[in-house]
Amino acid sequence: MSQLIQSFRSTGIITFKPGWQKQSRGKSKNLAFYVAGLKYHSAQNLVWDLIPGEPVKLVFEPNNPHDSQAVAIYIRGRKTGYVPAARSRQITALIERNPIMTARIWDVHPKRPAWKQIKVRLEMVC
């Protein structure tokens, strides 16, 4: 692990933006949000190992007993939390239209409260 990454992790804030964004020919739209429900999915230890730019998988959960528009977030193959309810309908609509979409970790803040530790950014080509 590089000294830079170790330094960022020791402060509890990793905010550099990796160069994963690519220019596309279509019209693009960006959406960012914090992952909800981290504490319910025992993701607290995972937060310390995350690096901005890592891919995130979004999974629509229409049979979720709490929210029929729920969108689960998987990081490294592990359910980590959910798209916040305020954004889930919008993202569900985008998933149903099936645009070209990438989801990546944007910011990681392990020392913040659980609801502000992992920020995800979606980039879509419409």
- pLDDT, tens digit, 9 for 90 and up, residues 70-111: 999 999 988 999 999 999 888 888 777 766 778 999 999 989
Write down the pLDDT at residue 99. 62
Query: E strands, 35-112, where?
Result: 57-61, 70-75, 78-82, 100-108
Q: List CB contacts of 123: < 8 A, sequence separation 6 or more.
A: 21, 28, 29, 30, 101, 102, 104
Q: Give domain limits for the chain.
A: 3-125
Distance CA 114, CA 92 (A): 23
Residue 8: CB atoms within 10 Å: 17
Residue type, 15: T
Residue 102: CB atoms within 10 Å: 14
DSSP 55: B
Q: For the whole prediction, is pTM greater than 0.75?
A: no
Is there a contact between 90 and 69 (Cβ–Cβ < 8 Å)? no
- Of these ranges, 18-32, 37-51, 65-79, the one predicted with the greatest mean pLDDT is 65-79
Beta bridge partners of 107: 119
DSSP 1: -
Write down the pLDDT at residue 1. 40
Pairing of strands 28-34, 100-108: unpaired
At the topology level, CATH places domain 3-125 in Alpha-Beta Plaits (3.30.70)
Is there a contact between 126 and 29 (Cβ–Cβ < 8 Å)? yes
